[in-house]
Structure 1
Amino acid sequence: MTVDEILRDALRDQAAEQRPAEPTLADRVLEARRRARTDRIAIATAAATAVVALLVPLFDSGLDLLAP
C-alpha cells in the first residue's frame, strides 16, 4: 500500500463514522454571510455619513480647508 492509499482509506473511515450534515446547514451558513455583509455595509455607510456630517459644517462656516 502506498501512502496515498493509506490516507484515502483513513479519510474514508473517518467520514463513514461521522453523521451527515444537517439539511439546513448551507442555508444557515449563507444567512450568516449575508448578515455579516449587511453589517459591514451598514458600518461603512454610518462612517461615511459621520464624516460628511462633520465636514459639511466646516465648509458652510467659511473655512476653506483646501486653500494653500
Structure 2
Amino acid sequence: MKEVKLVIPEIPHGHGLSFKKGVVDGLLDTKQHENSCHETHAASYLRGYEVGGQLKDEVAKHVKP
C-alpha cells in the first residue's frame, strides 16, 4: 500500500467548506466552485485548490501506466 503525505494549512473557523470546495476543484482540475464561495473565503478556497492539485499529482505517481 502506498502512502501519500500532504501538509494541510490551518483553516480559519468557518472556512472549511470553501477549503473543501477548493480541494475538490484541485483534484478535478476545474474552477467549478470558485464563485460559490464568499469573497472573504477566496484565500481558503485557493489553499484548498493547491492541496487538491498536490493530492492529484501524488496519486498520479502511484497509478500503474
Structure with max Cα Rg: 1
Higher relative contact order (CA 8 A, sep 6+): 2
Q: Which TM-score applies when normalising by structure 1?
A: 0.36
